[in-house]
């Protein structure tokens, strides 16, 4: 009786674990679909000069979320948004120059971008 109980418990356990794995894979697939859609929508907006979408695209390239991590591309999109007065993009440029990510480390350039963002009221830049 005990061995059949162990077999039944093992089957239930395997089913639960298998179901959790399937659920996790389905969740990841949906997450990937959302990322693909976010990238597509952001690229369309960015290509039309929308500063928020340029910021999003820069962030995706910076973090490697939805796109391959590419600091050069992040810098390009952040700069486009920053040139339109997007404070968060200006702050992100400041961080890139401060850390030397995708650009030579340059504290003076970092401060310049932080100051622009701070003047627009972005507390993080202040």
The whole model's pTM is what? 0.74
- pLDDT tens digits for range 48-107: 999 999 999 999 999 999 999 999 999 999 999 999 999 999 999 999 999 999 999 999
Per-domain residue ranges of the chain: 2-119
Which residues does 84 contact at the CB level (< 8 Å), separation at least 6?
Answer: 49, 51, 54
Rounded CA separation 66/51 (Å): 19
Rounded to 5 degrees, φ, ψ at 117 are -65, -40
- What pLDDT, on the 0 to 100 scale, is given for residue 4? 63
3-state SS class at 82:
helix
- What pLDDT, on the 0 to 100 scale, is given for residue 33? 80
> Which residue pairs, CB below 8 angstroms and at least 24 apart, start in 23-29?
none
Overall average pLDDT of the 36-51 stretch: 89
Q: Which fold has domain 2-119?
A: 1.25.40
- What pLDDT, on the 0 to 100 scale, is given for residue 42? 87
């Amino acid at each position: 009786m005990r061995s059949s109980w162990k077999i039944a418990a093992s089957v239930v356990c395997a089913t639960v674990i298998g179901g959790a794995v399937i659920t996790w894979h389905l969740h990841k697939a949906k997450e990937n679909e959302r990322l693909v859609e976010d990238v597509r929508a952001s690229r369309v907006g960015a290509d039309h000069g929308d500063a928020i979408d340029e910021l999003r695209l820069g962030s995706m390239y910076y973090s490697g979320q939805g796109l391959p991590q590419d600091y050069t591309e992040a810098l390009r999109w952040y700069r486009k948004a920053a040139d339109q007065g997007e404070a968060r993009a200006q702050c992100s440029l400041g961080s890139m120059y401060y850390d030397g990510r995708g650009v030579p480390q340059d504290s003076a350039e970092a401060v310049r971008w932080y100051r622009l963002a701070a003047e627009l009221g972005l507390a993080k830049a202040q």
